[in-house]
Structure 1
């Protein structure tokens, strides 16, 4: 509406020969530009601008035709110049109007397109920010799921060791107080370690700033021997051996090997008999690192029931680093767990 009013006012000013031209030209240019740059309805904006431009050129052609048909008006228009000069002046006037209206139309459209592009970019930026927040929240959930799995491993192992030590202390309490005291000391140490591990893991779970918290576990292949020592301290026959030339392994791979060994030892303590021998071997192969835990089986003192989540957790851990897991009874008795992780993991 504003552009139409400005155009009519401009046309009336030209018709009544108002001497002021600069203000009218600027106002008409801004009206056409603003309609192109900010008009909400693009079809209506385009139509109104085209009609204004067509109307202005019709008025221009009528004016030029009237001047050329009237010698007195032509002389006034060209200040007495020759007919050739009058034609050149008319063509120059048409060219200037083409540039004037074309610039207002095109620059207005370009301003609209630029504003739309900025709006789309801002929208995309907001979407990316929301996606980053969602990804961060999802990462926290996944981290807490992983820590929950760590909790399972820690609790199961320490409780199994403490159960065996408590049973040993109960059997020798009357006839060998010194051995009973040693077993109770081992229970105390296992309980303290379990509480410390649980405090570290639960502290991470309670934190809302995962990037500022330390890793829930730094246990790796270097702690495998001490893990086996806990089993021997519980009164079970267990051996640890390293095969091949030791080399540094990634922290995630080392922690995976440790947790597989911990879960397998826990299962052996629960399901194998007290006379079972447990063998743990860490192999450094050319293209992989392998952990193998086997026991000779036997009848356990008490039947321990399980939900089968331990093996599932081991398999998920090994799969996460691109390895393979074998778990099952041995042909000559007992049970075998073997995890193999490629060197490129």
Structure 2
């Protein structure tokens, strides 16, 4: 397959400034340098003056070939050649017209000190040339001074006009360079913004994938282990475990397909879009986790308020990840408490357990805790995780809400000690598959103020001694 045809490039894009200057120098040498050489020989100047003038007639056009690449060096050579033939006795040759080209070039392309020096040197040259003609004219002092003054005025006017045109051109060149620099800077910033947006989107997708896959696999593993132990003693329980595994796998597969469908399609309408879970689905999440054998109590304190966009999903995902870690690390017979506390300034989400998860320093690759911290930080909140006094593990997230006022009711975990949860009676173990027990309703989680608020408990644990049953989540 042949490569696609490239658009034609204009001839101006293939010609470099150095090539243009080289052509200009050749033209100047042909039409200025050679006539100037003939003029210097035929004017009857002294032999030294004619020789130096002829050499300057050739050197000055050649030096113009570097007027843009090396403007300072080019102008120095032109000025020095003009001064040399003047001192040698050839005051004026045709090639002296290139002094104006050198002044223009160094003013447009040279630094500030070079353009000022070139202007001053050109005006000084006008004065020296006028004085030379006044001294060698052989006229009376007054007429010679008049002629010298007229020559000085005329040459100085040419110099100032050349310098003014060069300054206008310099302003245009600076504007073009400024626009080019700005365009390049904007392009770099655009690329950086694209990279930042890509990294942020990649991190968001990674968090969603981790939360879906990790939670679903943890439930599947717990049900599979329980069903394997209960298969011989209670085939019905094993059947319920397999049903839960099937439902959880199908739900996770559907979530994965939705995410992949959004990634593969530019039109969001092509995907099967459903509302994302939020804080109102915590009871359903707790019920789903209870079906795996982990006893979870949901405690709500305060008056619920509307959350900003994305905050409800963050609360749900933090609670999901924390309960998933409890499933993986807390061990058999563990209990968990999910506290949702509404304060005047925000929302406090705290997940406690009394298992052995404090001995686990990581959840594998560490993506779970990192994802929780990133989600909390995006909302301007803080996340504190660590072992609880008396055993167990605690995850505490404080999320500020817009327009929140008043004193902070929830203690800062960085300055206040963690409050242990009242101990629960151990769960009976009729066999290798532990049966859950209902959490005591008389020992609600103490509020941050030190008094026990009136909690609203989530759905109680079912009385079925076998925890394995199909999930309705």
**TM-score bracket, shorter-length normalisation:** 0.5 to 0.7
Instruction: Give CA deviations for 1:74-115 in whole Å, capped at 9, x if unaligned.
Output: 9xxxxxxxxxxxx8x998997676555323213313422431
Instruction: Give CA deviations for 1:266-324 in whole Å, capped at 9, x if unaligned.
Output: 1221233443332212111111211111234379xxx9994371334434443444323
Q: Give the CA deviation at 1:237.
A: 2.5
Instruction: Give CA deviations for 1:162-198 in whole Å, capped at 9, x if unaligned.
Output: 1222234334445655544333222112112222333
2:52 corresponds to: none
1:253 corresponds to: 311
Is this contact kept in 2: 1:158–1:190, CA < 8 A?
A: yes
Q: Give the CA deviation at 1:30.
A: 8.0
Pair 1:277 & 2:347 matched: no
Q: 2 CA distance for matches of 1:304 and 1:326? A: 14
Is this contact kept in 1: 2:325–2:363, CA < 8 A?
A: no
Distance 1:269 1:97, change over 3 A: same
Superposition map of 1:187-336 within 5 A: 187-201=245-259, 218-297=276-355, 306-307=363-364, 309=366, 310-336=368-394
Structure 2 gaps of 5+ residues are 1-24, 44-96, 405-473
Pair 1:35 & 2:105 matched: yes
2:177 corresponds to: 119
Instruction: Give CA deviations for 1:207-260 in whole Å, capped at 9, x if unaligned.
Output: 899xxx999x94432332222121123243223233222222233433332222
Q: What is the root-mean-square deviation of aligned Cα atoms in Å?
A: 4.7
SS of corresponding position for 2:349 = strand
2:208 corresponds to: 150
Aligned with residue 240 of structure 2, among 165, 173, 182: 182
2:400 corresponds to: 342
1:77 corresponds to: none
Distance 1:306 1:38, change over 3 A: closer
Distance 1:5 1:56, change over 3 A: farther
Q: 1 CA distance for matches of 2:361 and 2:246? A: 23
Q: 1 CA distance for matches of 2:388 and 2:123? A: 92
2:166 corresponds to: 108
Q: Give the CA deviation at 1:42.
A: 7.9
- State TM-score, norm by structure 2: 0.52
1:22 corresponds to: none
SS of corresponding position for 2:313 = helix
Larger fraction in helix: 1
Instruction: Give CA deviations for 1:26-54 in whole Å, capped at 9, x if unaligned.
Output: x9998577435655688777666655555
Q: 2 CA distance for matches of 1:41 and 1:304? A: 63
Structure 1 gaps of 5+ residues are 17-26, 75-86
Is this contact kept in 1: 2:126–2:156, CA < 8 A?
A: no
Is this contact kept in 1: 2:131–2:148, CA < 8 A?
A: no
Distance 1:29 1:103, change over 3 A: farther
Q: 2 CA distance for matches of 1:181 and 1:46? A: 95
Is this contact kept in 1: 2:353–2:393, CA < 8 A?
A: yes
SS of corresponding position for 1:124 = helix
Is this contact kept in 1: 2:347–2:401, CA < 8 A?
A: yes
Is this contact kept in 2: 1:228–1:239, CA < 8 A?
A: yes
Is this contact kept in 2: 1:29–1:104, CA < 8 A?
A: no
Q: 2 CA distance for matches of 1:330 and 1:46? A: 76
Is this contact kept in 1: 2:107–2:114, CA < 8 A?
A: no
- State TM-score, norm by structure 1: 0.67
Distance 1:28 1:167, change over 3 A: closer
Distance 1:340 1:304, change over 3 A: closer
Distance 1:70 1:343, change over 3 A: closer
SS of corresponding position for 1:251 = coil
Instruction: Give CA deviations for 1:113-137 in whole Å, capped at 9, x if unaligned.
Output: 4313421431232133023213312
Q: Which moved more, 1:160-169 or 1:38-47?
A: 38-47
Q: Which moved more, 1:95-104 or 1:180-189?
A: 95-104
Distance 1:95 1:207, change over 3 A: farther
Distance 1:207 1:122, change over 3 A: farther
